Structure 1
């Protein structure tokens, strides 16, 4: 069975170079795409929840039914 895509965790740990090299060899051997994933340090949820706290207008769209609408 040949792999089409290989995802590898890319970080700054001491094992990262070895992990990435192994993933690269596997991708090459299977003619697969190699995808590296790394953390940015900022959670998407933290960013979204704090968006309105900077003093600017909240960028989220208004809920359907107006401000006082309640689910039925």
Structure 2
């Protein structure tokens, strides 16, 4: 009787742990997707000019650091 009870309790704990890990994983994935979605929306809202300027600054920064190593 004791061992049966222990086995049942252990299985119950394993199941709880499994579902907990699953829900955490799902939450992380959902948050990740939400972030991507808002990033896309923000990028669309940004002026194309600023996006272009950022790219230019980004590439200039890269070439500056590469040339001055």
- TM above 0.5, yes or no, is no
Q: Which has the larger radius of gyration?
A: 2
Structure with the larger RCO, 1 or 2 (CA within 8 Å, 6+ apart): 1
Determine which structure has the larger helix proportion and give its number: 2
The two structures have a TM-score, normalised by structure 1, of 0.26
The two structures have a TM-score, normalised by structure 2, of 0.27
